[in-house]
A and B are shown apart, each in its own frame.
Chain A
Amino acid sequence: MLRFLVRRLIVALLVAATVVTLAFMLTRLSGDLAISIAGANATQQDVEQVRRAYGLDRPLVVQFFDWVGRAALGDFGQSYFFKQRVSELIAERMPVTVTLGLVGLAIALVVSLPLGIIAAVRENTAVDRLVQLVALIGQAMPSFWLGLILMVTLGLRLGWLPISGTGSWEHYVMPGIVLAFSAIPALTRLTRSGMIQALASDYIRTARAKGLSRASILLKHALRNAAIPVVAIAAVQLGFMLGGSIVIESVFALHGVGFLAWESIGKNDFPVVQAVVLVLAVIYIGLTMLADLMNAVLDPRLRSA
């Protein structure tokens, strides 16, 4: 177990290092950054000044290690546009994105688990097909479009929820629903197949032979085993959701890191962009490790292995 964790940690660090390099290279794609930053109307002199001010005149390797060294200490430099420390910007915006992600995941789980369980219990019936149809619809739904449709219906026509902004908990409901849609198909299918497998297993037959109640058989014996992969995938899905929140945050003008990144991309504010890419990647790596850990905690067979 410990050896497994150590090995896992080493791989995670290597992945992080690779992503750091990619994030750095990403922002150098456009060629001369100084020109982008200075703007289209800048004179040759302005560009030179920018180049020196941001240290862009140094060799690329020096720039890279300088950036990595600082990033490791949580210093992502200064935003060109916001004139603020990037780390502060991200710290300010992160709670919004994390809240959104957690709300989305919570909604997704609240919907997927019962749907998956019902579909498994009623396997091959109309109910099962309906659930699979819901999953298919969720999979085909363009999230930004769903967001707009909800804004028009729930927000404007029915007036139930605020259309955009970050003020209260109500602002998270619609984006949360939209974000949940992206995770519902995978989670529902996984719950369904896990439950079908569990319900067909010998230990469920034993539980029935013991005369246990239906609720206990389904929720205690079957779900406990079916939930192991679901919990792990839920953690990974949260990572995907945080990464994908950029679209939803811009639709709903929710001022999280995704929105920040979108604004920064439009303004060529590359320190912010590379920092957000890095932070989201590191969070994802952390979540996959968490998923492995939770697997080990939930599955007694892995725990002692």
Chain B
Amino acid sequence: MSAAGVGPAPRRGWRSAATWVGAAIVGAVLFCAVFAPLLVPHDPFAQDLNNRLATPFWMDEGHDPAHLLGTDGLGRDYLSRLIYGARISMMIGVLTVVTSGLIGITLGVLGGFAGGRVDDAVLFAITCRLSIPVVLVALAVVGLLGSSLILVVLTLGLLLWDRFAVVARSTTMQVRNLDFVAAAWCAGCSRFHILLREVLPNIASHLVVVATLEMALAILLEAALSFLGLGVPPPLPSWGLMIAEAKEYMFFSPWVIVIPGVALFVLVLGINLLGDGLRDLFGTETET
């Protein structure tokens, strides 16, 4: 006769609004990424040394109507670079999640399903992975092998699988012990069939939530690597690289770092909002 559990939580409305905002942000950035060539007003790589650091529209002084968000230190159109930057961020985000998801989910499901020695090994791999400093190692790899987009994806993918593994492992363990899996065993289904048909669909919702978290993290890390000069190579307009290139002008024209920074922040915020919303929707409480 406790008083708990009466009435639904009153935050649903607020939560779903936040989810829609997140979805809208991600949708908009995805749209920009896909249709970048059709959307840009200028060639994002075309330099115009006579028109350097034109200010964006909200500043009166030095604004060139042809460049809505102004131009960078080499006179390239900032809006066009920003739109192309969305491509790189989304590409990094999606590809990294695919790579790290493949590794992490395979390991996690294997450990959670097989148990015993296999599980010990998976746990050990996760522990090792966690004790490796991600940024440092990613920087070192890119520094030693030379920067390229595909290398950044591979490096981040190889480094960010830990949460996938942790969640896949624990949820697989839960699902493994449920009745319908036992029923499938009894029906003589193969191991592989049970994994693919019974386990994976039931842990998928948890993994989707992890995927959003990892995508946000990968985008932030790529920006940091590019900012440090060891991510995506110039002249590709990665948002992190744009901030790095703008750094020398930031004390006189702060907007040059504000624009790509805000874009990065809003995208990551949007992905996180969407992730939180999905978590509520699925009713999953993901660990870590």
Binding site for B on A (CB under 8 A): 11, 14-16, 18-19, 22, 26-27, 29-30, 36, 124, 129, 136-137, 139-145, 148-149, 151-152, 156, 200, 239, 242-244, 246-247, 250, 258, 261-262, 265-266, 268, 270, 273, 276-277, 280-281, 284-285, 288
Asked if residues A281 and B9 are in contact (CB atoms below 8 Å), the reply is no
CA A289 to CA B176, docked complex, whole Å: 30
Q: Out of A145, A244, A261, which one reaches B257, CB within 8 Å? A: A145
Q: If the complex has contacts A14-B124, A15-B124, are A144 and B251 also in contact, measured as CB distance less than 8 A?
A: no
Min Cβ gap B188→A in Å is 38
A244 and B133 form a contact (CB under 8 A) = yes
Q: Which of B4, B136, B223 has the largest number of chain A CB atoms within 10 A?
A: B136
Residues in A with CB closer than 8 Å to B6 are none
Chain B contact residues: helix, strand, loop or mixed? helix
User: Is B143 an interface residue, CB under 8 A from the partner?
Assistant: yes
Which of A26, A247, A258 has the most B CB atoms < 10 Å from its CB? A247
For B273, the chain A residues whose CB sits under 8 A away are 136
CB distance from A57 to the nearest CB of B (A): 20
Once A26-B137, A141-B265, A268-B144 are accepted as A-B contacts, the answer to whether A281 and B224 lie under 8 Å apart by CB is no
B139 interface contact, C-beta 8 A: yes
- Once the chains are docked, how many angstroms separate the CA of A268 from the CA of B145? 10
Tell me, rounded to whole Å, the shortest Cβ–Cβ distance linking A12 to chain B.
Answer: 9
Contacts A15-B131, A156-B251, A250-B228 known; 13 new A-B pairs at CB < 8 A: A11-B124, A18-B128, A26-B144, A136-B273, A142-B268, A143-B224, A144-B224, A144-B227, A149-B261, A152-B250, A243-B135, A247-B228, A277-B136
Report chain B residues within 8 Å CB of A16: 131
B133 touches A140 (CB 8 A): no
B117 within 8 A of A: no
Q: Determine whether the beta carbon of A265 is less than 8 Å from that of B139.
A: yes
Chain B nearest CB: distance from A38 CB in Å? 15
Beta-carbon nearest neighbor of A233 in chain B: B288
Would you list 22 pairs from A and B whose C-beta atoms are within 8 A, ordered by A residue? Answer: A11-B124, A11-B127, A15-B128, A19-B128, A26-B144, A27-B144, A124-B9, A136-B269, A136-B276, A139-B272, A140-B265, A141-B265, A142-B265, A142-B268, A145-B257, A145-B261, A148-B243, A247-B224, A266-B229, A268-B144, A270-B144, A285-B131
| B131 with A142: CB separation less than 8 A | no
| B233 at interface by CB-CB < 8 Å | no
Closest to A279 in B: B133
A11 to B265 alpha-carbon distance, docked (Å):
38
State the CA gap A145–B146 with chains docked (Å): 24
Chain B, 133-171, contact with A by CB distance < 8 Å: what is the 0/1 string? 111110111011100000000000000000000000000
A280 touches B140 (CB 8 A): no
Task: Tell whether A258 pairs with B136 under 8 Å between CB atoms, given A139-B272, A281-B131.
Answer: yes
The docked-state distance in angstroms from the alpha carbon of A200 to that of B276 is 24
Hey, what's the 0/1 contact readout for B10-23 against A, CB within 8 Å counting as 1? 11001000000000
Contact indicator B133/A247 (Cβ below 8 Å)? no
Q: Are A22 and B132 in contact (CB under 8 A)?
A: yes
Partner of B139, one of A11, A141, A261, A268: A261
Closest to A273 in B: B140
B272 and A243 contacting across the interface, CB-CB below 8 Å: no
The answer on a CB contact under 8 Å between A29 and B133 is: no
**A140-B272 in contact (CB<8A):** yes
**Cβ–Cβ contact A140 & B268, under 8 A:** yes
| B216, CB-defined interface residue at 8 Å | yes
A124 touches B144 (CB 8 A): no
Residue numbers in A under 8 Å from B193 (CB-CB): none
Q: Assess whether B127 is in contact with A262, with CB atoms less than 8 Å apart.
A: no
